[in-house]
């Protein structure tokens, strides 16, 4: 079989490595992939958002199955275009990807169908938003409606900060069109849990839970990033919480999307907060999370391609999706400075014995050698009987990998280890 994976990050590298465990897979093409992914796939310089380019390529190469992982091509309708060209595809259609593409849409959906989430107001008029902030409870959370590279969420500790955030989004257009509409919502507290799920629009199969580490620096300090490391499973996601989530959140969400005529097929990501009132949705993503995927897929014991095809064909109920009961830990190595400005172009050395556990996110090939080319450069994942062992193994690997300006958090999994003891 010939597969096509659209995207270029560590998540895509993890997806590709897992897909290749199926011996029927002959070739995987990555659009555009990266210098590290090139060891496992044929990288083709077509941008992930180039719908016409991807469809032409898929037709020319007679691709058997395509996997679309990043948010922007999904929200733009990459799946619809590939399907229209006769290429079966993993990932929701445009009308379902809106669950991530518009916060106003997802908040209204949750309100309409009684799915637990922070209370909120949506605004398209800046004066009305500023007026609302005169009496809104503080702290408050301001969210740009559209995709904003994970940066469109501001937690304001004071009324003035909240107003400044609204002005940045609506007046100064910090996030362009994404900030023309905004959501102002209640500040929730509690541990966060990421649950990725497979769904064919009828059945929801949650994957093993995980915990992201979004801040750049140790102790959850510094700027928000795409994620500096992950562990799985997440100790806060107990059996009781999982049962409540299925009943109160997962199934109601999939049913709500069906009722709206927006059937969701693919990976639906639930960003949850376990509040004192129970689990609530912080955000939906219409795709695999990154770096969550880098701990979740190594624990998948079933064949990924078979499961993905079942979401496309509507046969998930009869398909085995089995996860290991071991633990996984992923440590991200980034370029110092990320998520703000950073240098690139440094030689990257990954010892051959470690390479199977590495997912490359930001590297290019220069004269046949790997050089850094992104903020998040790579992730290292180990699977072990306990989280403690998985973390120790990943940190031992990280010490063997070198590039100038390398930066990584030293406390990935610390909170999870503490929580395991409670
Ligand atoms: P998001 O991009 O929606 O995942 O938001 C980024 C981060 O902001 C989340 O991972 C949470 O840590 C935090 N956050 C978002 N919404 C809220 C909320 N209503 N209350 C507290 N924290 C929030
Ligand atoms: N790691 C968070 C995300 O993928 O959205």
What are the tens digits of pLDDT across the range 345-401? 999 999 999 999 999 999 999 999 999 999 999 999 999 999 999 999 999 999 999
Residue 152's pLDDT band, with cuts at 50, 70 and 90, is confident
Measured from the CB, is residue 292 less than 6 Å from ligand 2?
Answer: yes
Measured from the CB, is residue 233 less than 6 Å from ligand 2?
Answer: no
Of the candidates 282, 281, 260, which has an alpha carbon nearest to the alpha carbon of residue 95? 260
Mean per-residue pLDDT, 322-333: 98
Measure the CA–CA gap between 110 and 115, rounded to whole angstroms. 5
pLDDT of 422 higher than 80: no
The ligand 1 atom nearest the CA atom of 283? 3
pLDDT of 153 higher than 80: yes
What are the tens digits of pLDDT across the range 111-141? 999 999 999 999 999 999 999 999 999 999 9
Q: What is the pLDDT of residue 59?
A: 98
Instruction: State percent of the chain over pLDDT 90.
Output: 95
Which of 100, 101, 120, 155 to probe ligand 1 with, by most ligand atoms within 8 A of CB?
155
Measured from the CB, is residue 283 less than 6 Å from ligand 2?
Answer: no
Q: What is the β-pairing status of strands 2-7 and 65-68?
A: parallel
Q: What is the pLDDT of residue 414?
A: 97
Measure the CA–CA gap between 279 and 298, rounded to whole angstroms. 26
125 CB neighbour count, 10 Å cutoff: 11
Q: State the ligand closest to the CA atom of 141.
A: 1
Measure the CA–CA gap between 371 and 9, rounded to whole angstroms. 15
pLDDT of 178 higher than 90: no
pLDDT of 73 higher than 80: yes
pLDDT of 312 higher than 90: yes
Q: What is the pLDDT of residue 149?
A: 75
Measured from the CB, is residue 290 less than 6 Å from ligand 2?
Answer: yes
Tokens standing for residue 13 = 């590298």
pLDDT of 176 higher than 90: no
Mean per-residue pLDDT, 336-345: 94
Residue list, ligand 1 pocket, CB within 6 Å: 118, 141, 150, 153, 155, 185-188, 192, 214, 271, 282-283
> For the chain, what are the domain ranges?
2-93, 125-180, 192-318, 327-420
Of the candidates 339, 379, 141, 148, which has an alpha carbon nearest to the alpha carbon of residue 225? 339
Q: What is the pLDDT of residue 133?
A: 96
Q: What is the pLDDT of residue 386?
A: 98
Tokens standing for residue 373 = 């080319």
Measure the CA–CA gap between 370 and 338, rounded to whole angstroms. 19
Measured from the CB, is residue 100 less than 6 Å from ligand 2?
Answer: no
pLDDT of 302 higher than 90: yes
Which of 227, 283, 289 to probe ligand 1 with, by most ligand atoms within 8 A of CB?
283
Kindly report the backbone phi and psi dihedral angles of residue 234, in degrees, each rounded to the nearest multiple of 5, phi listed first: -90, 120
Ligand 1 centroid to Cα of residue 237, in Å, is 18
Q: What is the pLDDT of residue 131?
A: 96
Average pLDDT, the chain: 96
The ligand 2 atom nearest the CA atom of 289? 4
Which of 74, 194, 281 to probe ligand 2 with, by most ligand atoms within 8 A of CB?
194
Does an H or E element contain 31, and which? strand 27-32
Measure the CA–CA gap between 148 and 367, rounded to whole angstroms. 34
Query: CATH top-level class for 125-180?
Result: alpha beta
Instruction: State percent of the chain over pLDDT 70.
Output: 100
Q: What is the pLDDT of residue 67?
A: 98
275 CB neighbour count, 10 Å cutoff: 16
102 CB neighbour count, 10 Å cutoff: 20
Q: Rg of the Cα trace of the chain? A: 21
pLDDT of 150 higher than 90: no
Nearest CA to ligand 2 atom 3: 289
Q: What is the pLDDT of residue 175?
A: 87
Measure the CA–CA gap between 146 and 106, rounded to whole angstroms. 11
Which residues make Cβ contacts (< 8 Å) with residue 294, sequence separation at least 6?
Answer: 10, 11, 14, 230, 330, 359, 379, 381
Tokens standing for residue 252 = 């109601």
Is 327-420 in the same CATH topology as 2-93?
no
Tokens standing for residue 72 = 């922007």
**Helical ranges in 260-367 per DSSP H:** 293-296, 304-313
Mean per-residue pLDDT, 25-31: 98
Nearest CA to ligand 2 atom 1: 290
Tokens standing for residue 31 = 């659009």
Mean per-residue pLDDT, 163-174: 92
Q: What is the pLDDT of residue 193?
A: 98
Residue 276's pLDDT band, with cuts at 50, 70 and 90, is very high
Measure the CA–CA gap between 31 and 8, rounded to whole angstroms. 7
Residue 76 near residue 49 (C-beta atoms within 8 A): yes
Query: CATH top-level class for 2-93?
Result: alpha beta
Q: What is the pLDDT of residue 151?
A: 76
pLDDT of 191 higher than 90: yes
Q: What is the pLDDT of residue 148?
A: 81
Measured from the CB, is residue 285 less than 6 Å from ligand 2?
Answer: yes
Which of 74, 234, 272, 292 to probe ligand 2 with, by most ligand atoms within 8 A of CB?
292
| CATH code 3.90.1300.10 for 192-318 | no
Q: What is the pLDDT of residue 421?
A: 81
Mean per-residue pLDDT, 89-100: 98
The ligand 1 atom nearest the CA atom of 186? 19
| CATH code 3.30.70.260 for 327-420 | no
């Amino acid at each position: 079989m010939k597969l096509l994976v659209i995207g270029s990050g560590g998540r895509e590298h993890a997806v590709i490595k897992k897909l290749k465990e199926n011996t029927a897979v002959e070739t995987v093409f990555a659009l555009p992939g990266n210098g590290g992914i090139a060891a496992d796939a044929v990288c083709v310089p077509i941008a992930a958002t180039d719908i016409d380019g991807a469809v032409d390529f898929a037709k020319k190469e007679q691709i058997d199955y395509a996997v679309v992982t990043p948010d922007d091509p999904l929200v733009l309708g990459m799946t619809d275009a590939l399907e229209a060209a006769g290429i079966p595809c993993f990932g929701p259609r445009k009308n379902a990807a809106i669950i991530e593409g518009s916060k106003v849409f997802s908040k209204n959906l949750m309100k309409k169908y009684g799915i637990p989430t922070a209370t909120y107001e949506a605004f398209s008029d800046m004066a009305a938003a500023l007026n609302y902030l005169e009496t809104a409870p503080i702290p408050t959370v301001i969210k740009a409606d559209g995709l904003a590279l994970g940066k469109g969420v501001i937690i304001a500790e004071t009324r003035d900060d909240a107003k400044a955030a609204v002005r940045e989004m609506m007046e100064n257009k910090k996030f362009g069109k994404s900030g023309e509409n905004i959501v102002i919502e209640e500040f929730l507290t509690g541990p966060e849990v990421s649950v990725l799920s497979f769904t064919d629009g009828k059945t929801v199969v949650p994957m093993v839970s995980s915990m992201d580490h979004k801040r750049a620096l140790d102790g959850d300090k510094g700027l928000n990033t795409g994620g500096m490391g992950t562990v799985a499973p997440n100790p806060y996601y107990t059996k009781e919480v999982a049962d409540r989530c299925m009943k109160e959140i997962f199934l109601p969400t999939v049913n709500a999307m069906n009722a709206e005529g927006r059937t969701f097929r693919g990976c639906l990501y639930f960003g949850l907060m376990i509040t004192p009132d129970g689990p609530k949705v912080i955000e939906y993503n219409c795709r695999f999370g990154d770096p969550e995927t880098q701990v979740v897929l190594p624990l998948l014991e079933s064949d990924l391609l078979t499961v993905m095809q079942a979401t496309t064909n509507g046969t998930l109920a009869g398909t085995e999706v089995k996860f290991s009961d071991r633990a996984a830990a992923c440590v991200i190595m980034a370029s110092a400075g990320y998520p703000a400005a950073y240098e690139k172009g440094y030689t990257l050395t990954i010892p051959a014995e470690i390479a199977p556990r590495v997912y490359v996110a930001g590297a290019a090939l220069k004269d046949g050698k790997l050089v850094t080319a992104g903020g998040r450069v790579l992730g290292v994942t180990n699977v072990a009987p306990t989280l403690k062992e998985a973390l120790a193994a990943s940190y031992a690997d990280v010490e063997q990998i070198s590039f100038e300006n390398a930066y990584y958090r030293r406390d990935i999994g610390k909170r999870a280890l503490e929580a395991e003891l409670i």
